[in-house]
Structure 1
Amino acid sequence: MYRSLFPRDLFAEVDRLQREMQQAFDLSPSIRGLGRGGFPALNVGGTPQSVEIYAFAPGLDPATLDVQLDRGLLTISGERPSALPEEDGSSTVHINERFVGSFRRMLTLPEDADPDAIKADYRDGVVHITVRRRASAQPRRITIE
């Protein structure tokens, strides 16, 4: 309703600036304190043997995703292209809520995460990352002699 009063790109630009400001001032979350509202959305949990991370990124080519681990900081990044038709003057977009553009999510892994034992796969729009915990951090039973 109000979009006809303003240039259509103004709202998209304000939304983009808001996301960039939030990312600039948001410290990298740990597995216990994740920020909300980023892309891709994350679910993080764990077992005594591993840390399990699920990144929800539907419609992306897995080859365009980049998952890196550097000194305990896990980074998931990539770019989501626009699915809208090119502007030719004959089409009008009324609502565009799908995130488009470059993205990067980072989270700090616990100290017992093993950087040499990490696995990532993509299925049905979900990136599943498993980071094994170090063997020295595994619970074990001590026999009493």
Structure 2
Amino acid sequence: MSDLYSGTDLFSEFDRLQRQIASMFGGFPSSIRSGRFGAFPQINIGSTDDSIEVVAFAPGVEPKSLDVSIDKGLLSISGERAAAQPPTAGDEMRTYAQERFVGSFRRVIELPEHADPDKVTARYTNGCLTVSIGKREASRPRAISVQ
């Protein structure tokens, strides 16, 4: 046991190893449905009987800077997030760490075949962009009566 465990926290070592492996592969996703680490905006995708719901979490983005489009089955969300507090000319601040994303962004999401690009609504509330894409009539569930 002493050969494997050298007095350090074993879970910390596993975490360090996982980070090293992820950096070796350039942050490639572990599956097709996985997103990039650090992708902006982060998204949730779900569906109801009538629609596909995409929620993009984009705090600090002005709604007028957002561009939402659908082309050939791909939903594209792009825009720009400005700095929260632009530095003044006399500031001599040096940044040691910056975790808040600033700049242009674009996320592209492949939609299922039953998405209807003619039935799309988008609204931005409290930092969340919600895009609702209707489903084609033929793909909606329906009750069939038994005779």
TM-score, structure 1 normalization = 0.73
Q: Residues of 1 paired with 2:34 and 2:63: CA distance? A: 23
SS of residue in 2 equivalent to 1:45? strand
**For 1:19-68, what per-residue CA distance to the aligned partner results, in whole angstroms no more than 9, with x for missing partners?**
xx87xx88xx98xx141421001011111211111000011110000000
Larger proportion of helix: 1
Partner of 1:115: 117
Distance 1:89 1:144, change over 3 A: closer
Partners of 1:78 and 1:86 in 2: how far apart? 25
Count of residue correspondences:
120
Mind listing any 5+ residue stretches in structure 2 that lack a counterpart? Answer: 1-22
Instruction: Name which structure has the greater RCO, CA cutoff 8 Å, separation 6+.
Output: 1
Out of 81, 104, 107, the residue aligned to residue 105 of structure 1 is 107
**Offset at residue 86 of structure 1 (A):** 4.5
Per-residue deviation, 1:101:
1.0
Between the aligned partners of 1:81 and 1:106, the Cα distance in structure 2 is 21
CA distance in 2, matches of 1:127, 1:101: 17
Higher radius of gyration, 1 or 2: 2
Percent identity, aligned pairs only, is 45
d(CA) in 2 for partners of 1:86 and 1:107? 38
**Structure 2 residue aligned with 1:134:** 136
Question: What is the deviation of 1:89?
Answer: 5.4
- Once residues 88 and 96 of structure 1 are traced to their aligned partners in structure 2, the CA distance between those partners, rounded to angstroms, is 20
Using structure 2 for the length normalisation, give the TM-score.
Answer: 0.72
